Chains A and B, each alone.
Chain A
Amino acid sequence: MNMRPDQAPIVEIWVYLSGSPLFALTLTLAAYSFGVFVYERSGKHPMANPVLVALLIVTAALVGTEIPYKTYFEGAQFVHFLLGTGTVALAVPIYAGWRSLRGRFGVLMLAVFAGGLTSIATGVAVLTLLEADQSFLLAIYAKSVTAPIGMGIAERIQASPTLTAVFAVTTGILGAVFGRFILNAAGVSAWWQRGFALGVASHGIGTSRAMSVHPVAGAYASLGMGLHGIAGAVLIPLLIQALMLLR
């Protein structure tokens, strides 16, 4: 390299830093912190979702610095590792929702199956009708449930965990933004029903939204997200296997 001698140390430091996990971790946490800041400033608007904001920053930084994604992921995997632990931790908010449950378990499970199947069937039908690339289809199945569980399902059904996560987050944002208009149009007014529907269909982001609107809606949203996640993890791989056999 024809660098001037006084620039060389900076270049060396950059070469060292950009390849070390420290850079990937700092970038990820800084982008996410900024995302949380923007989210709080926006009055917690779902469109200013911290993950979405962080994703824009991280991808822009990777493109700008020409650091390969693989190098970034090797460093950021320390954050990624906690995903399994985070999934286990979901038991706590689900349990909080469970406690406010008063003998409605049967009808809630029925609603989970109906909502989950609708999510998959409509998503797959629209993608097929609009002749989108087939490689997106499996991620549509897995994104039907909350991102951390959906990514686990994706690994089991050979879907892309990346597409699954991005689709699930997009779904969450869309549901959190439009959910109340859909529920109003459908004439669903009981808070527990509104919350549960948001949790089942729009996962963690919908649940955050429900919590900020009404505590009962929030508790039932956690429950809806959790029950759908558990049912999906058991049934979606079996559904895919059954569909493969039919082919």
Chain B
Amino acid sequence: MKTPVLKPLAVALIAVLAAPAFAAAASQLPAPEKIVLKNGLTVYYLRNSDLPVVSFRMFVRGAGTAFAPAGEEGVAGLTAALMTKGTAKMDAEAIAEALDFMGASFSVSAADEYAQVSGDSLTQHFPRLMEIAAGCLTGPSFKDEEFAKERARQVDSLKSLKDNPGAAVRSYFRKAYFDGHPLGRVASEPSLAKITLQAVREFYARRFRPDRAIAAVVGDIERERLVELLEATLGPWANPAGAAASEAIPPLPRPKGKTLVLIDKPDATQAYFVMGAPGYAMGDKVTPQATVMNTLWGGRFTSWLNTELRIKRGLTYGASSLFWTWAPGGVFQASSYTKNDKIVEALDLTFGLLAKGGREGFSAEEVESGRNYIQGQFPPTLETNASKAGAYVRLAFYRVGFDYYDKYLAAIAKVSPAEVKAAAAALLPQNDYVLVVVGRAADVLPQLKKYGTWQEKKITDAGF
């Protein structure tokens, strides 16, 4: 492949970041119809009968990884996974069999700030899909045997992840950057070992409730049929009597000074790095300027970073940057990988470009190109039923309005070179950052010490 394909997580993020439009006339995202079920659950709905398929999406606020109690990192992911492993009426096998039989997909997963529920099927199977989804959401059985199996499977998946340094470095970075903060609650072998089934049950009971959920349905289904179906399936989901657990996330840490964490992987023939620094919150007014700046600095194929590391020097297959955004704040992140003996060259180039961005800014032509690119690449991010449904729940979750993308694209169209330079000066880190490298310490550590106060870990150590 010419370029690595973006991982789903990054794609979701880009959909948020890359929000403006070329032809200002048509709305990027058709306004959905709001349906409120008798139990208060809000469902946004849009009909699309082009193909016989329907997508369902739901966010449950306060049920993400950030809400795991300290020491029980991973409880959100474990709870989410176990929700499809048995209900009052169906055991895990029956659920899997029913979903596979329809060729449908259904999952519950834990993002940072929310749990995400996704279901996609052919129109003819959608009623059955929603019956199963409602069973999983409202009455998971959380059996001992399933808990033991799933926890063991997740522990082993984490060990296996460490055989792939490009994937493992992201978890190490998250832990190092957010050490102690809820956004750093990364599941590890030791933390999973401490979680009890009772902890899973409590996490579910306190955090999965209709007054915390936002849902959307997009596809080939009539409104009346949908309302009837939703009332019959999700309608009986009642709010528990007690108050819901907190869904607040404290302000993000702001690293001071230069921190380097090296993870020794003695058999690695490439060194993988991720460096990060404070960014901005979802919906922040700097979003358009910062998005154009990031696009030009490290967000696309011809970005400065990819041009210097890959296109001009052939040091790597991929070099990129992005902004992660959450309600309480965000992070700027740059990453790449190269042969062990080239890591200093790659990092020096990266730091040189970070300094250059704020110092020199970008040319008028570059900024025009960045604006065009963001606008031109936007429509496909909302092309499918699933992506529209995902956008409805995301925009509702962040309370930014369904015209968010139209406003965003209109703002992108007006971003000036001076604004981009200001965004670079404010957001590209110089002296305060966290740098994480996975590589062969014997080769790379002596060269890396100049990048910060360092600590060393072994890839074989438990946890991240």
- A and B pair up: no
